[in-house]
Structure 1
């Protein structure tokens, strides 16, 4: 842990948009923006199932805001609270849709943490056991191939590589990820992807089977291996981050990240200081690049707290 990076008081401000895109008939993406939680959900499933799944996901996550605001001094959630809320969203989607649909979820949550959080994201990658024998040419039903035995083996490996937290309560951020919606951070003008896609092609990249460029252009790049409400695996990746004043975060669905390179995203976030304008320009750029999917984008700035009454 970097001793020179100390926790500081902060607040978050955001702007976000969703767009149906140029190829889809309906918009299954949903966004959530509040004082303590921001989220993007990208629904999947036909006949309105994707819309229901993504809406249930953001509505369930929003309930944490209600709990936080019940007292005069805002009570921030801890990581276990976030984990329970994501599980509740998964349960509600499964009950409502009976496996007919699911959704990704990428969320940034203000929390009280038991460690200062990571100043850089360098978590070890645990390669899922189903990746090595997976063939995109033979079978594209990825989630159905994940057996309970495979899932348990993967969870055991992740648990073995997890770092134990230092017991200390400090204000931090929790980045939550299930699926292939993404979270990025712009710091000192440089963009970093903070989440790792739960997708077949990303797991093949991690296993060294294909390159990043091949993954970006792969015909099955949108096949996800983890989702809320569908399949055997819905456990979120949760990373505790230590924010700095002037950091800028981006949450987006693959309708944005699939159309724009990181260089383009970085350039827009650096150029447009106004977060609302940055979110609009990102959305417009994704449309101009093809708009092949629904687009969801939230730009979040880390600010010094307003102490005026």
Structure 2
């Protein structure tokens, strides 16, 4: 387990991470970064070794930012631009390489800890808090667009033949930009960042149960991977679990508010469509 409690404010975290090639793939094209203040998962795609090179290139670019207490959104955007250039330089047999990216970055907003969430593609970022699992990120996928348009039902989405088709990526000929959300952090938050090898195999209610049952984040990440393998393991699978141990400014800002009111007030308009999918 990676213990990042020495990182200090604005969010002190404990982290666990695990990754597996899966039962049907020869190469693990997933890559992850689980060092404060960045907790990211990238799922590569492309011919031959292009996918794993693409995801590794993105993670390597962001690794230069490891070690600080927090990051500003401009730093994250600049790193993503550099990462995109590195990925676009990778090609195999004339096929463009690409990768998804999803996760959280510790941010400081007026002395208060926030999760700066970033997403491109269909890897996912969830928050588990007060017994509720909600998906923070919004999938950039054909199926998600059909869901938003009311053309496809939630029940049909899980088995739709287009469920693996994404509409944005880093590289792969995509010009799609990343989405960002500023999410107020609370002590006790548990963040799950994963590739679709987990979210595509394991139902959301099972993800919730495992996150609730496993206290240690490393144990939670390992068990989530095992669960994906039990459900078929048809893809590479990666999970990063991040626990908020302490949030700077939280008590100062909210110590007079009822617990139930704190989240409602804090969330506000920081996340478009928050809670529309993934609530369990």
TM-score surpassing 0.5?
A: yes
**Aligned equivalent of 2:16:** 15
Contact kept? 2:10, 2:108, Cα under 8 Å: no
SS in 1 for 2:210: helix
**How far apart are the structure 2 equivalents of 1:40 and 1:282?**
15
Question: CA offsets, 1:22-68, max 9 Å, x none?
Answer: 011111001111121011000001210001000001111111125x3
Match of 1:255, SS state, is helix
1:32 maps to which residue? 33
1:243 aligns with 2:243: no
**Residue in structure 2 matched with residue 91 of structure 1 by the alignment:** 85
C-alpha change, 1:244 and 1:170, in structure 2 (3 Å) is closer
Q: CA deviation at 1:179?
A: 0.3
Tell me, which stretches of 5 or more residues in structure 1 are unaligned?
1-7, 69-73, 114-167
- TM-superposed CA distance for 1:305, in Å, is 7.1
Which of the residues 99, 114, 120 maps onto 1:103? 99
Aligned-pair distance for 1:231? 2.5
Counterpart of 1:274? Answer: 216
Task: Work out the CA distance in 2 between the residues paired with 1:45 and 1:56.
Answer: 13
TM-superposed CA distance for 1:92, in Å, is 1.1
Please list every run of at least 4 consecutive aligned residues from structure 1 whose deviation after the TM superposition is greater than 4 angstroms: none
- The whole-number CA distance in structure 1 between the counterparts of 2:162 and 2:189 is 33
Provide the secondary structure at the position in 2 that maps to 1:203. helix
- Cα deviation, residue 219, structure 1: 1.5
CA distance in 2, matches of 1:9, 1:93: 31
Partner of 1:48: 49
**Contact 1:248/1:300 (8 A) holds in 2:** yes
State the structure with more CA Rg: 1
Runs of 5+ unmatched residues, structure 2: 1-8, 249-280
Distance 1:45 1:96, change over 3 A: closer
Query: How far is the alpha carbon of 1:232 from its aligned partner?
Result: 3.4
Residue-by-residue CA offset, 1:86-115 (whole Å, 9 max, x unaligned): 1111111102337621000012101233xx
1:193-272 superposed matches below 5 A: 193-272=135-214
Contact 1:174 / 1:239 at 8 angstroms: preserved in 2? yes
What is the alpha-carbon root mean square deviation over aligned residues? 1.7
Distance 1:90 1:234 in 2: 11
Contact 1:12 1:301 in 2 (8 A): yes
- Asked whether the equivalents of residues 225 and 233 of structure 1 are also in contact (C-alpha less than 8 Å), the reply is no
- Aligned-pair CA distance for 1:171: 3.1
SS class of match (1:64)? coil
Residue by residue, what CA displacement relative to the aligned partner does 1:105-148 show, whole Å, maximum 9, x if unpaired? 012101233xxxxxxxxxxxxxxxxxxxxxxxxxxxxxxxxxxx
Structure 1 Cα separation of the partners of residues 178 and 197 of structure 2: 21
Q: Where in structure 2 are the equivalents of 1:113-132 lying within 5 Å?
A: 113=109
Of Structure 1 and Structure 2, which has the larger fraction of its residues in strand?
2
